[in-house]
Amino acid sequence: MQVYLVGGAVRDHLLGHPYHEKDYVVVGATPAQLIALGYQPVGKDFPVFLHPISKEEYALARTERKSGQGYHGFEFFTDIDVSLEQDLIRRDLTINAIAMDEQGKIYDPYHGQADLDNKILRHVSHAFVEDPLRVLRIARFAARYHSYGFKVADETILLMQQLAASGELNALTSERVWKETSRALMEPHAEIYFETLRQCGALKVLFPEIDALFGIPQRPEYHPEVDCGIHTLMSLQQACRANYSLDVRFAVLLHDLGKALTPKAELPRHIMHEERGVAPVTLLSERLKVPTNTKQLAIAVCKEHLKTHQIFHLKAGTIWRLLQRLDVLRRPERVEAFIQACECDAKGRLGLENREYPQADFLRAAMHTVREIKASSLAVHVKGPDIGELLISKRIEAIAALRKQAEYPSP
């Protein structure tokens, strides 16, 4: 029996990239042998075992054969005669098809180290096209390793285009698409994930609402980058740069979907794009089955972000009602996430990436101010529904005073 560390741990070890999970492949063993050694079987489709002490995953070396549609449409075969090379060839990328034995010796039958050195994401074999999930995985790897200079090989892009055109992507479940996409959104360069999907034609299949933004013009005095799709990815890059949460990144990604629905006669203006965007944001979120809180923030940002940009031109009462709709009294964390998303939108513009955005500081201060005004702090004695009306009045007055004290522009 021979044990090898495989996959991402070896790749990241050689690259000097941090990693936490370790996966092992076992060559020349049977399930009975591993069970006798205390390993706990957990795999249903193929034999995977948990180490009796470390609880890390150990899988028997296996081959696979395409037997149906989608990423579940495979039959796996394990045998003591399956070699390490046979196991590695079924993997997606050459840089993921490297193994290391217990003495630290590297086994690299498909030249993954050369591709690591040359910063290339390249498929191992033509069997790549048998698994549509690999389109998303390669796009995610492109996002993760973009800062290292990695690019997807031209021949791999061609296979990804073939998969996107084949209809196989439609076999991916919503849960799986969201799992890969949510992981990609948390990469340092999440925008590369969507750029790569667009390059191979998968964005139009899986995210048609986002794909539709590319080629839609905006007014250059507000958007020097002009193209709505480019602005969306630049805004997402801002969210990654600030290391914002998944909810914020997703909201930024969808904030301008309404601009794809602007009548051509109105371009490059986008009147009422916020209201138009609510339907596609809701549709995409529900199709992917994203968490409720994630969807709610995305809808709020889509619907309200323009008000934040114009905050200094709004009346104090309008600002209070905006904060109220964001549930400021019960969920200040949502207001903070909303502010972060709006700032990414403001800075996701060509040449304006480092601009000041005082609207964020003001809305943040307004949030803290109104939350400090409670019934117990009122100096007057009122009862019943009058308390609520008085609280609203005091909060609006406080917002107006805040703007005056801070010398913000008046509406």
Q: Is the pLDDT of residue 362 over 60?
A: yes
Average pLDDT value for residue range 366-379: 85
Cis peptide, bond prior to residue 224, ω within 30 of zero: no
Q: Which of the four pLDDT bands, split at 50, 70 and 90, describes residue 189?
A: very high
Q: Is the pLDDT of residue 266 over 90?
A: yes
> What is the pLDDT, as a whole number, of residue 84?
96
DSSP reduced 3-state for 23? strand
The strand pairing partners of 76, in sequence order, are 64
Q: Is the pLDDT of residue 303 over 60?
A: yes
